[in-house]
Amino acid sequence: MDYGSYVVTRVLIDPALDNMQQQFFEDDPRFVGRLFILQANLLSDDTGPPCKMVRRRWSRQTLATVLKAHSQRRNQAAARPPVPRDYGLPPMPAGRIAIVAYECDDPRDPRTGAIPGNAWAGSVGWALGGGRRAILWADEVILILEPRGSAPPRPSFPCNKAHSVTERTICADPSLANWDRSVAMAYALNLNGGPERLDWTPTDDPDALKAFHRRWLAERDRCGADRECLLSKMYGQVDVLMRRQY
């Protein structure tokens, strides 16, 4: 079974694809720190609506077969199919392993026509050992999930110095604390640049970035103790920063 509560600790990408072919990055702040809950009739993560009518299809396949079927390289006639080491995956037993494919049968939202939890559609998962799991998400990135522990929330700032209602709310909520760290990671990438392997250069206008972020902090703080407001603000800020749309 794959049931449990997990936190995303790594984001692995196919290095053969350039930035024009994929929208996410290695250890992308949009995924690192996200909480995933896998139950019999619930698949949820803190990036969107949950799937409440879950179908799981189990099979035994080699991991190379799974990666070949889902890789974006399949659209490139001359490309070599990916293998696990391309992603930097930990060594796996040779031969076939248990693979679970997720499907969501939730009805469409009558207002939007969207299927809640549909981000799970087509994603596949497998066990890594030691309670860890991997999920190939949206045919694009591999998320490494660790079991969620009992450690207290740890945002980007010391909770013993939290002075506002918003900061105290973030310190009391693991999901909000993780999103706060993601905002800090995305901000630092834009301000200072990233490791060479990410090919992420710092902004040409750090003063404009700092002013933009100060305005956002003021907007965030107006949420007070409203959890959904804070989630929305932080999700949006991470996305804007990673798209460099400030």
| Burial category of 75 from C-beta neighbours within 10 Å (exposed 0-12, middle 13-18, buried 19 and up) | exposed
d(CA 221, CA 219): 5
**Directed axis angle between helix 174-192 and helix 206-221, to 10°?**
160
Query: Which pLDDT tens digits describe the chain residue by residue (246 residues)?
Result: 788 999 999 999 887 766 555 678 889 999 999 999 999 888 888 877 788 778 899 999 999 889 888 876 655 655 677 888 888 887 777 789 999 998 887 666 666 565 555 667 778 999 998 899 999 987 778 999 999 887 788 999 999 999 999 999 999 999 999 999 999 999 999 999 987 767 788 999 999 999 999 999 999 999 999 999 999 999 999 999 998 888
Contact 175, 35 (CB under 8 A): yes
**Under DSSP, is residue 24 helix (H, G, I), strand (E, B) or coil?**
coil
pTM, to two decimals: 0.87
Match 């002013």 to its residue by tokens.
211
